[in-house]
Protein backbone atom coordinates (compact mmCIF):
# COMPACT_ATOMS: atom_id res chain seq x y z
CA UNK A 1 0.00 0.00 0.00
CA UNK A 2 1.54 3.30 -1.06
CA UNK A 3 0.20 6.36 0.74
CA UNK A 4 -1.95 8.84 -1.17
CA UNK A 5 -4.59 11.36 -0.23
CA UNK A 6 -6.59 10.68 -3.38
CA UNK A 7 -10.23 9.85 -2.68
CA UNK A 8 -10.75 6.12 -2.08
CA UNK A 9 -14.22 4.58 -2.12
CA UNK A 10 -14.55 1.66 0.31
CA UNK A 11 -17.87 -0.18 -0.02
CA UNK A 12 -18.91 -1.88 3.21
CA UNK A 13 -20.00 -5.48 2.68
CA UNK A 14 -22.36 -5.03 5.62
CA UNK A 15 -24.80 -3.97 2.89
CA UNK A 16 -23.93 -6.88 0.55
CA UNK A 17 -25.71 -10.22 0.15
CA UNK A 18 -24.36 -12.25 3.09
CA UNK A 19 -24.92 -15.49 1.17
CA UNK A 20 -22.72 -14.28 -1.67
CA UNK A 21 -19.75 -12.36 -0.27
CA UNK A 22 -17.16 -13.65 -2.73
CA UNK A 23 -19.17 -12.63 -5.78
CA UNK A 24 -20.15 -9.33 -4.16
CA UNK A 25 -16.47 -8.47 -3.51
CA UNK A 26 -15.62 -9.29 -7.12
CA UNK A 27 -18.55 -7.22 -8.37
CA UNK A 28 -17.66 -4.06 -6.45
CA UNK A 29 -14.00 -4.48 -7.44
CA UNK A 30 -14.97 -4.71 -11.10
CA UNK A 31 -17.24 -1.68 -10.65
CA UNK A 32 -14.46 0.59 -9.37
CA UNK A 33 -14.18 0.15 -5.61
CA UNK A 34 -10.71 1.01 -4.32
CA UNK A 35 -10.92 -0.70 -0.92
CA UNK A 36 -13.33 -3.24 0.55
CA UNK A 37 -14.50 -2.35 4.06
CA UNK A 38 -15.21 -5.34 6.29
CA UNK A 39 -17.30 -4.69 9.41
CA UNK A 40 -16.68 -7.19 12.20
CA UNK A 41 -19.19 -6.96 15.08
CA UNK A 42 -19.39 -8.98 18.27
CA UNK A 43 -22.79 -8.28 19.84
CA UNK A 44 -20.96 -6.89 22.87
CA UNK A 45 -19.04 -3.76 21.87
CA UNK A 46 -21.86 -3.05 19.40
CA UNK A 47 -25.44 -4.34 19.44
CA UNK A 48 -25.07 -6.46 16.31
CA UNK A 49 -23.14 -9.57 15.21
CA UNK A 50 -21.62 -10.11 11.77
CA UNK A 51 -18.71 -12.51 11.18
CA UNK A 52 -15.11 -13.22 12.11
CA UNK A 53 -11.68 -14.06 10.73
CA UNK A 54 -12.77 -17.22 8.88
CA UNK A 55 -15.10 -15.16 6.70
CA UNK A 56 -12.35 -12.58 6.11
CA UNK A 57 -9.98 -15.33 4.98
CA UNK A 58 -12.65 -16.78 2.68
CA UNK A 59 -13.34 -13.47 0.92
CA UNK A 60 -9.70 -12.33 0.67
CA UNK A 61 -9.04 -14.04 -2.70
CA UNK A 62 -12.08 -12.23 -4.13
CA UNK A 63 -10.76 -8.77 -3.19
CA UNK A 64 -8.31 -7.21 -5.64
CA UNK A 65 -7.58 -4.03 -3.68
CA UNK A 66 -7.18 -3.25 -0.02
CA UNK A 67 -9.03 -5.34 2.58
CA UNK A 68 -9.90 -2.84 5.30
CA UNK A 69 -11.03 -4.63 8.46
CA UNK A 70 -13.01 -2.58 11.00
CA UNK A 71 -13.10 -4.40 14.32
CA UNK A 72 -16.09 -3.49 16.48
CA UNK A 73 -15.17 -6.04 19.12
CA UNK A 74 -14.00 -5.99 22.74
CA UNK A 75 -11.65 -7.32 23.88
CA UNK A 76 -9.69 -7.12 20.64
CA UNK A 77 -6.03 -8.03 21.26
CA UNK A 78 -6.48 -11.80 21.28
CA UNK A 79 -8.00 -11.71 17.77
CA UNK A 80 -5.55 -9.42 15.94
CA UNK A 81 -3.29 -12.22 14.71
CA UNK A 82 -6.22 -14.15 13.26
CA UNK A 83 -7.37 -11.12 11.23
CA UNK A 84 -3.80 -10.48 10.03
CA UNK A 85 -3.51 -14.13 8.95
CA UNK A 86 -6.85 -13.77 7.18
CA UNK A 87 -5.15 -11.26 4.88
CA UNK A 88 -6.19 -7.85 6.18
CA UNK A 89 -4.21 -4.93 4.77
CA UNK A 90 -5.60 -2.53 7.38
CA UNK A 91 -6.94 -3.47 10.82
CA UNK A 92 -8.74 -0.76 12.78
CA UNK A 93 -9.62 -0.99 16.44
CA UNK A 94 -11.92 1.22 18.49
CA UNK A 95 -10.39 3.60 20.99
CA UNK A 96 -13.41 2.92 23.18
CA UNK A 97 -12.92 -0.86 23.08
CA UNK A 98 -9.84 -1.18 25.25
CA UNK A 99 -7.67 0.48 27.85
CA UNK A 100 -4.30 -0.10 26.15
CA UNK A 101 -4.48 1.23 22.63
CA UNK A 102 -0.73 1.62 22.20
CA UNK A 103 -0.38 -2.11 22.75
CA UNK A 104 -3.14 -3.00 20.28
CA UNK A 105 -1.76 -0.69 17.59
CA UNK A 106 1.82 -1.91 18.08
CA UNK A 107 0.60 -5.48 17.80
CA UNK A 108 -1.13 -4.74 14.49
CA UNK A 109 2.01 -3.15 13.01
CA UNK A 110 4.19 -5.97 14.31
CA UNK A 111 1.96 -8.34 12.34
CA UNK A 112 2.88 -6.40 9.18
CA UNK A 113 -0.53 -4.75 8.83
CA UNK A 114 -1.47 -1.04 8.66
CA UNK A 115 -2.95 0.12 11.96
CA UNK A 116 -6.10 2.18 12.29
CA UNK A 117 -7.88 3.75 15.23
CA UNK A 118 -11.65 4.31 15.15
CA UNK A 119 -13.40 6.97 17.19
CA UNK A 120 -17.11 7.05 17.98
CA UNK A 121 -19.11 10.23 17.41
CA UNK A 122 -18.88 11.16 21.10
CA UNK A 123 -15.08 10.79 21.26
CA UNK A 124 -12.90 13.88 20.82
CA UNK A 125 -9.72 14.12 18.74
CA UNK A 126 -7.60 14.95 21.78
CA UNK A 127 -7.81 11.20 22.51
CA UNK A 128 -5.78 10.39 19.39
CA UNK A 129 -3.19 13.14 19.72
CA UNK A 130 -0.71 10.88 21.50
CA UNK A 131 -1.33 7.99 19.10
CA UNK A 132 -0.39 9.80 15.89
CA UNK A 133 2.96 8.03 15.57
CA UNK A 134 1.28 4.65 16.05
CA UNK A 135 -1.34 4.83 13.31
CA UNK A 136 -1.77 4.74 9.55
CA UNK A 137 -5.48 5.59 9.56
CA UNK A 138 -8.13 7.24 11.71
CA UNK A 139 -11.71 6.14 11.16
CA UNK A 140 -14.08 8.93 12.17
CA UNK A 141 -17.44 7.27 12.81
CA UNK A 142 -20.19 9.51 11.52
CA UNK A 143 -22.90 7.21 12.94
CA UNK A 144 -22.93 5.17 16.13
CA UNK A 145 -21.41 1.85 15.05
CA UNK A 146 -23.50 -1.29 14.75
CA UNK A 147 -25.77 -0.91 11.74
CA UNK A 148 -25.73 0.26 8.15
CA UNK A 149 -28.18 2.77 6.74
CA UNK A 150 -28.09 5.30 9.58
CA UNK A 151 -28.19 9.07 9.26
CA UNK A 152 -24.91 10.98 9.02
CA UNK A 153 -24.13 13.02 12.17
CA UNK A 154 -23.30 16.51 10.91
CA UNK A 155 -21.39 17.61 14.02
CA UNK A 156 -18.56 15.29 12.96
CA UNK A 157 -17.54 17.59 10.11
CA UNK A 158 -15.89 19.99 12.51
CA UNK A 159 -14.06 17.05 14.06
CA UNK A 160 -12.72 16.01 10.64
CA UNK A 161 -11.48 19.55 9.91
CA UNK A 162 -9.66 19.72 13.23
CA UNK A 163 -8.22 16.25 12.75
CA UNK A 164 -6.94 17.13 9.29
CA UNK A 165 -5.10 20.12 10.77
CA UNK A 166 -3.72 18.00 13.61
CA UNK A 167 -2.39 15.36 11.20
CA UNK A 168 -0.55 17.88 9.01
CA UNK A 169 1.91 16.13 6.69
CA UNK A 170 1.87 12.81 8.52
CA UNK A 171 0.95 9.88 6.23
CA UNK A 172 -2.31 9.09 8.03
CA UNK A 173 -5.55 8.40 6.19
CA UNK A 174 -8.78 9.98 7.41
CA UNK A 175 -11.61 7.53 6.85
CA UNK A 176 -15.29 8.37 7.21
CA UNK A 177 -17.68 5.61 8.17
CA UNK A 178 -21.46 5.95 8.30
CA UNK A 179 -24.09 7.75 6.29
CA UNK A 180 -21.83 8.57 3.34
CA UNK A 181 -23.97 9.48 0.30
CA UNK A 182 -23.61 11.77 -2.71
CA UNK A 183 -24.89 14.53 -0.43
CA UNK A 184 -22.45 13.98 2.47
CA UNK A 185 -19.38 12.84 0.46
CA UNK A 186 -18.52 16.40 -0.66
CA UNK A 187 -18.79 17.67 2.91
CA UNK A 188 -16.33 15.12 4.31
CA UNK A 189 -13.96 15.45 1.35
CA UNK A 190 -13.85 19.23 1.80
CA UNK A 191 -13.21 18.72 5.51
CA UNK A 192 -10.15 16.58 4.78
CA UNK A 193 -11.20 12.93 4.49
CA UNK A 194 -9.67 10.64 1.85
CA UNK A 195 -11.25 7.19 2.49
CA UNK A 196 -15.03 7.10 2.18
CA UNK A 197 -16.79 4.00 3.47
CA UNK A 198 -20.24 3.55 1.97
CA UNK A 199 -22.55 0.60 2.52
CA UNK A 200 -26.12 1.32 1.57
CA UNK A 201 -25.18 4.11 -0.85
CA UNK A 202 -23.04 1.73 -2.94
CA UNK A 203 -25.14 -1.44 -2.84
CA UNK A 204 -28.57 0.13 -3.31
CA UNK A 205 -30.26 -0.77 -6.56
CA UNK A 206 -27.74 -3.41 -7.61
CA UNK A 207 -26.92 -7.09 -7.11
CA UNK A 208 -24.38 -9.66 -8.25
CA UNK A 209 -26.70 -10.40 -11.18
CA UNK A 210 -27.06 -6.68 -11.93
CA UNK A 211 -23.83 -4.97 -10.77
CA UNK A 212 -23.99 -1.86 -12.99
CA UNK A 213 -25.73 0.23 -10.28
CA UNK A 214 -22.75 -0.45 -7.98
CA UNK A 215 -20.52 1.26 -10.53
CA UNK A 216 -22.92 4.16 -11.00
CA UNK A 217 -23.11 4.67 -7.25
CA UNK A 218 -19.33 4.47 -6.78
CA UNK A 219 -18.66 6.91 -9.63
CA UNK A 220 -21.30 9.36 -8.35
CA UNK A 221 -19.91 9.36 -4.79
CA UNK A 222 -16.33 9.74 -6.06
CA UNK A 223 -17.24 12.58 -8.43
CA UNK A 224 -19.14 14.42 -5.70
CA UNK A 225 -16.19 14.07 -3.30
CA UNK A 226 -13.51 15.04 -5.82
CA UNK A 227 -15.45 18.11 -6.93
CA UNK A 228 -15.45 19.42 -3.35
CA UNK A 229 -11.69 19.35 -2.84
C1 LIG B 1 -21.42 0.82 10.96
C2 LIG B 1 -20.37 0.31 10.01
C3 LIG B 1 -20.36 0.98 8.69
C4 LIG B 1 -21.63 0.79 7.93
C5 LIG B 1 -21.79 1.94 6.99
O6 LIG B 1 -21.23 0.27 12.21
O7 LIG B 1 -19.08 0.48 10.57
O8 LIG B 1 -19.25 0.58 7.91
O9 LIG B 1 -21.66 -0.39 7.24
O10 LIG B 1 -23.03 1.79 6.39
P11 LIG B 1 -23.79 2.96 5.64
O12 LIG B 1 -22.87 3.46 4.56
O13 LIG B 1 -25.01 2.30 5.13
O14 LIG B 1 -24.06 4.03 6.66
ZN1 LIG C 1 -17.21 0.19 9.34
Q: Is residue 100 part of a domain?
A: yes
Q: Is residue 173 part of a domain?
A: yes
Count Cβ neighbours within 10 Å for each residue of 139-165 and write b for 16 or more, e otherwise: bbbbbebbebeeebbeebbebbeebbe
For the chain, how many structural domains are there in total?
Answer: 1
Q: Is residue 175 part of a domain?
A: yes
Q: Is residue 164 part of a domain?
A: yes
Q: Which residues are annotated as a binding site for substrate?
A: 12, 70, 146-149, 177-179, 199-200
Active site residue 177: yes
Please tell me if the CB atom of residue 146 comes closer than 6 angstroms to any atom of ligand 1.
yes
Q: Quick: pLDDT tens for 118-151.
A: 999 999 999 999 999 999 999 999 999 999 999 9
Residues around ligand 2, an ion, CB closer than 5 A: 39, 70, 177
Separation CA 173–CA 167 (nearest Å): 9
CATH number of the domain within which 154 lies: 3.20.20.70
Q: Is residue 3 part of a domain?
A: no
Separation CA 130–CA 141 (nearest Å): 19
Q: Is residue 2 part of a domain?
A: no
Residue tagged active-site, from 39, 68, 136, 194 = 39
- φ and ψ at 177, to 5 degrees? -135, 110
| Residue to mutate, 50, 142, 150, ligand 1, most ligand atoms under 8 Å from C-beta | 150
Separation CA 226–CA 7 (nearest Å): 7
Low-confidence ranges of the chain (pLDDT < 50): none
Range of the domain at 65: 8-227
- In contact, 143 and 154? CB cutoff 8 Å: no
Q: Quick: pLDDT tens for 159-174.
A: 999 999 999 999 999 9
- pTM check: above 0.75: yes
Amino acid sequence: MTFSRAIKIAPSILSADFANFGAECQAIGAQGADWVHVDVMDGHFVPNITFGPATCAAIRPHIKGVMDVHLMIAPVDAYLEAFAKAGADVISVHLEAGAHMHRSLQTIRALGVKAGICINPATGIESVEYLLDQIDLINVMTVNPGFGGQKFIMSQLEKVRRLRALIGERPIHIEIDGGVTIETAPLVAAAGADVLVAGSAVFSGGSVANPAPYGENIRAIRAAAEAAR
